[in-house]
Amino acid sequence: MTVLIQNAHILTMDHRREIVGGALLVREGKIAFVGEERDLPAQTKADRVIDARGGVVMPGFINAHTHLAMTLLRGYGSDLNLQDWLFQKIFPAEDRLLPGDCGAAGDLGIAEMLLGGTTAFLDMYMFMEETAEAVKRSGIRAVLSRGLTAGDAFEEKLAEAVRLHTDWHDTCDGRIRVMLCVHAEYTNNEQTVRRIAEEAKKLGVGIHVHVSETDSETKGCLERHGVTPAQWLDSLGVFDGPAVAAHCVWLTPQDEELFARKGVSVVHNPGSNMKLASGVCPVQELLNRGVNVALGTDGASSNNTLNMQKEVYLAALLGKLSALDPTAVDAYTALEMATVRGAKALGIDDVCGVLREGMDADLILFDTCAPWWSPVSDAAAQVVYAASQEDIRLTMVRGEILMEDRVVKTVNVAAAKAAVEHAVEHLYE
């Protein structure tokens, strides 16, 4: 279907920081035109014309670090530090997961993300085949990684991760891609990390890993290995290829320089890190060093929502507060972290993350009719500081409208909710 969106403020998110007052044409899943309406080719025809009514069109949000199926554990174990939350609540509950649980949770989480304008996400969890099926059904874009930890079943889990790559990498016309995963330094050992790094190199894929999320994690690694988590992982080959490092709250200047040199993408998770009181990622320092910094929600258990609109707001404000500088993490930079920088982290910046001709039509439309939008003097600032995810009127991936007027078209939300509520009966203590 050919779709023409007219009368819009268009945040292209390209390097020129261009905001266009005009139109965007989608043809065969691709952006065929973006610019002033007067420059539309003569006699342009569309199967459907959408009047944005002065709304804001921009690339869809890219959630660069989450655990989708943890919608099953939304809010479970709240108000604890990371280690107590993980070892006393989350890991025991996850041991009780049954086949089918993560598929239902995937449906529910994807519906939440589509309502919130997320068009792509990077996931780390188990039962990833169920998540892949949920992604396939929904039309959203995803990069999937099976969480890997040391233990008696390590080789079996690694085989699952390789099979996920064999079965799902670059499927659904490229909507689904696969990475490998090192859960964290403190849940792995030298042998398992080397095995994962070697397998990633063999498959030609990147690695998704938690790094220095808490002070205790970093101190523990120094005691165990004499170096920081980032340096230890690097010594075992984790950063020899594409890598995504989540959290990165307790980095040293040497760690930051390592990431800049190796091209490691960092994912900032402000909501989760604040709720767990883990600390603050040094976003502006990393940006100043040339590190690519993306944005993620983490899972719905440590965050409670998969709301990228909220994360953009928190990232901008927390960046300024931690730097004691109102110019740090400006509005456009915060949106870059949630779009084009996220696409770079996931390795999908060849197809999405900016709005320009030839790119896949992964985009969202904000309705600006609410009082808090008026006047739209700076579209980027309004999206970051004033908007609500409930203002998102449309979510599109590869030219297919997946959510419109607050209705998800590709997920049975009521059925997903019922299945998740049934599943938690055997998960919670």
Would you place residue 280 in the very low, low, confident or very high pLDDT band (cuts 50, 70, 90)? very high
Instruction: Locate all alpha helices (DSSP H) within 145-304, ordered by sequence.
Output: 154-168, 190-203, 215-225, 229-235, 253-262, 270-275, 283-288
SS3 at position 39: helix
Query: Which string of DSSP letters, residue by residue, matches 223-265?
Result: HHHSS-HHHHHHHTTTTSS-EEEEE--S--HHHHHHHHHHTPE
pLDDT at 265: 98
Closest CA to 264 of 222, 296, 221, 234: 234
How distant, in Å, are the alpha carbons of 12, 137, 402 from that of 398? 16, 14, 10
| Mean pLDDT along residues 103-117 | 97
Q: Token digits for 384?
A: 């970051």
User: Which of 156, 149, 152, 164 is closest to 90 using CA atoms?
Assistant: 149
Q: What is the mean pLDDT of residues 247-252?
A: 98
Q: Residues 176-185: pLDDT tens digits?
A: 999 999 999 9
User: What is the rounded CA–CA span in Å between residue 143 and residue 176?
Assistant: 6
Q: Contact at 8 Å (CB) between 375 and 382?
A: no
Residue 200 pLDDT level (bands cut at 50, 70, 90): very high
Residue 72 is given by DSSP the state G
Contact, 143 vs 122, CB < 8 A?
yes
Asked whether the CA dihedral 18, 143, 291, 210 is positive or negative, the reply is: positive
> For the chain, how far is it from start to end, CA to CA, in angstroms?
49
Question: What average pLDDT score do residues 371-380 get?
Answer: 94
**CA–centroid distance for 161 within its chain:** 20
Question: Is pLDDT at 425 greater than 80 in this prediction?
Answer: yes
Tokens representing 276? 């767990």
Q: Which domains does the chain have, with CATH numbers?
A: 3-59+351-408 (2.30.40.10), 61-346 (3.20.20.140)
pTM strictly above 0.85? yes
Q: What is the DSSP letter of 41?
A: P
Where does the pLDDT of residue 113 fall: very low under 50, low under 70, confident under 90, or very high at 90 and above? very high
pLDDT surpasses 70 at 239 = yes
**Residues 216-238: tens digit of each pLDDT:** 999 999 999 999 999 999 999 99
pLDDT of the residue at 98 = 87
Q: How confident is the model at residue 81 (pLDDT cuts 50, 70, 90)?
A: confident
Q: Please check the confidence at residue 429 and state whether its pLDDT lies above 70.
A: no
The predicted structure's pLDDT at residue 61: 99
94, containing H or E segment: helix 91-94
Q: Are 56 and 8 in contact (CB under 8 A)?
A: yes
- pLDDT given at position 428: 78
Mean local confidence (pLDDT), 68-96: 88
Rounded distance, CA 406 to CA 425, Å? 29
Asked if 217 and 244 touch (Cβ cutoff 8 Å), the reply is no
Provide the mean pLDDT of the chain.
Answer: 96
pLDDT in tens, 360-371: 999 999 999 999
The whole-number pLDDT of residue 365 equals 98
- For residue 155 the two structure tokens come to 């080789």
Contact status, residue 18 vs residue 360, Cβ threshold 8 Å: no
Whether residue 379 is predicted with pLDDT greater than 70 in this model: the reply is yes
Q: pLDDT for 310-332, tens place per residue?
A: 999 999 999 999 999 999 999 99
Least-confidence region, from 38-47, 197-206, 238-247: 38-47
- The Cα 265–Cα 149 span in angstroms is 21
Q: Which pLDDT belongs to residue 43?
A: 83
pLDDT at 21 over 80: yes
Q: Is residue 262 predicted with pLDDT exceeding 80?
A: yes
Assess contact for 312 and 35: CB atoms under 8 A. Answer: no
For 30, the token pair is 């691709």
Tens of pLDDT, residues 128-137: 999 999 999 9
User: In the sheet that 265-268 helps form, which strands lie side by side, from edge to edge?
Assistant: 180-182, 207-211, 243-247, 265-268, 293-295
| Percentage of the residues of the chain whose pLDDT score is greater than 70 | 100
What is the bridge-based pairing of β-strands 19-27 and 3-11? antiparallel
Under the banding of pLDDT at 50, 70 and 90, the label for residue 28 is very high
Q: Confidence class of residue 90 from pLDDT cuts 50, 70 and 90?
A: confident
